[in-house]
């Protein structure tokens, strides 16, 4: 919820309100250009949007009570927020599945997209240390289709089961003059004790970053993927690459992993868990959203799924853009004290997760994320080549 105001949203989803992939996809097979120029050519003025968001945030913050019931405890810009309700922390976040709905429509398969909607909400919520409790959904459709709506409900039910939450209701709207196809958004509620809220403020140099392997693209960067496969190239939705064990459509529609069960066990049983990071749009740059003034050296990456190499190859996408848009094989991260590494990995293994130490926190007040294996360094929303960085600082 809070993250949506961190920057203008472009395509993709709104998981953290970050710049998505629509603008990047405008590059096609051209050489990389300044990002704001790419966005402008894609019909999106991010500068104007950022200015508008500043004004929007100013108005929203004016609604915050200074104390008492409803006091806001987590600043805008994090994965979720927490408000004080009678001494109890109520966590809130909202998110949608973005242009993954277009893949579902192309495939005419609608019974998994609800899992993504739940995942994109609850995976953000656990980052503040909260246990997700419930979610309501908002489904807008171009026209009513009973079979499609029922199938979407099936996915929502399965996602709720995996996350251990209820879905007590929601809203469905027919908006044929506004919506093409459909859009699906959720708003989740959770609980966290006020003295157990996590924002990464205790992360210190030497703390360890554990990466949990994703199962694919999740729900970010689908616009860029569609551009690479269906626009720059003319592959069909049912095309099958030798590198994949399924068709393009099936791979892109693979439901987002839900990380709630293992996160709850880790938070309950293990001391020294400093931060939880959902790796969505902006990729590993999300690590720098912790409240502490630290940077991160990521020196042992999880091997990315073949789908990412295919997107990069057929979309002619620079590696820096790939790491800005996609999770690149890392779906979620835990930042823990060194003595918490072994028990954390043990719990993750028990839950069937592939996980490993991928890096560590370092002293860096600018919040730089370095990936030496790929020759990248980045801050905020962008990666650039390490050599370029050295020239800048030299």
- Tens place of pLDDT for every residue, the chain, 394 residues? 444 434 333 333 433 333 333 333 333 333 345 445 444 544 445 567 778 888 899 999 999 999 999 999 999 889 999 999 999 999 999 999 999 999 999 999 999 999 999 999 999 999 999 999 999 999 999 999 999 999 999 999 999 999 999 999 999 999 999 999 999 999 999 999 999 999 999 999 999 999 999 999 999 999 999 999 999 999 999 999 999 999 999 999 999 999 999 999 999 999 999 999 999 989 999 999 999 999 999 999 999 999 999 999 999 999 999 999 999 999 999 999 999 999 999 999 999 999 999 999 999 999 999 999 999 999 988 999 987 655 454 4
User: What pLDDT is recorded for position 45?
Assistant: 59
User: What pLDDT is recorded for position 208?
Assistant: 98
Nearest CA to 222 out of 106, 130, 332, 300 is that of 106
User: What pLDDT is recorded for position 389?
Assistant: 56
State residue 127 phi and psi, 5-degree precision. Answer: -70, -15
pTM equals 0.89
Distance CA 110, CA 160 (A): 16
User: What pLDDT is recorded for position 250?
Assistant: 98
Assigned token pair, 227: 């551009």
The distance of Cα 32 from the centroid of its chain, to the nearest Å, equals 24
Max Cα distance, the chain (Å)? 62
- A 10 A CB-CB count for 391 gives 9
Q: Give domain 208-393's CATH number out of 3.90.1300.10, 2.40.40.20, 3.40.50.1820, 3.90.650.10.
A: 3.90.650.10
Assigned token pair, 297: 């050296």
User: What pLDDT is recorded for position 28?
Assistant: 34
Residues forming beta bridges with residue 209, ordered by sequence position: 335, 359
Q: From residue 121, how far is each of 107, 190, 324, 338, 351 by CA, in Å?
A: 24, 10, 20, 29, 20
């Amino acid at each position: 919820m809070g993250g949506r105001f961190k920057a203008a949203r472009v395509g993709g989803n709104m998981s953290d309100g970050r710049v998505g992939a629509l603008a990047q996809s405008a590059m096609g097979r051209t050489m990389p250009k300044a990002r704001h120029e790419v966005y402008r050519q894609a019909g999106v003025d991010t500068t104007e949007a950022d200015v508008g968001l500043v004004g929007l945030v100013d108005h929203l913050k004016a609604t915050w009570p200074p104390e008492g019931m409803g006091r806001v405890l987590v600043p805008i810009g994090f994965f979720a927020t927490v408000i004080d309700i009678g001494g109890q922390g109520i966590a809130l976040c909202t998110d949608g599945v973005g242009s993954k709905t277009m893949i579902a429509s192309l495939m005419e398969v609608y019974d998994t997209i609800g899992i993504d909607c739940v995942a994109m909400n609850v995976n953000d919520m656990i980052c503040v240390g909260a246990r997700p409790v419930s979610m309501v959904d908002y489904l807008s459709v171009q026209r009513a289709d009973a079979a499609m709506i029922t199938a979407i409900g099936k996915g929502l039910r399965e996602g709720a089961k995996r996350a251990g939450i209820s879905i007590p209701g929601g809203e469905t709207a027919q908006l044929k003059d506004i919506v093409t196809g459909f859009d699906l958004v959720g708003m989740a509620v959770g609980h966290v004790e006020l003295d157990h809220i996590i924002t990464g403020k205790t992360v210190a140099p030497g703390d360890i970053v554990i990466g949990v392997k994703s199962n694919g693209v999740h729900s970010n960067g689908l616009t860029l993927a569609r551009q690479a496969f269906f626009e720059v190239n003319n592959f069909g939705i049912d095309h099958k690459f030798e590198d994949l064990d399924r068709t393009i459509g099936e791979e892109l529609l693979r439901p987002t992993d839900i990380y709630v069960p293992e996160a709850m066990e880790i938070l309950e049983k293990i001391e020294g868990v400093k931060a939880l990071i959902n790796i969505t749009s902006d990729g590993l740059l999300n690590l720098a959203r912790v409240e502490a003034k630290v940077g991160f050296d990521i020196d042992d990456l999880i091997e990315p799924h073949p789908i990412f190499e295919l997107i990069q190859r057929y979309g002619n996408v620079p590696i820096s853009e790939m790491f800005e848009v996609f999770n690149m094989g890392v779906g979620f991260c835990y930042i823990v004290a060194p003595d918490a590494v072994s028990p954390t990995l043990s719990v993750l293994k028990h839950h069937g997760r592939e996980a490993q130490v991928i890096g560590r926190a370092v002293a860096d007040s600018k919040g730089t994320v370095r990936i030496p294996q790929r020759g990248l360094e980045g801050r905020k929303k962008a990666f650039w080549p390490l050599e370029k960085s050295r020239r800048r600082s030299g």
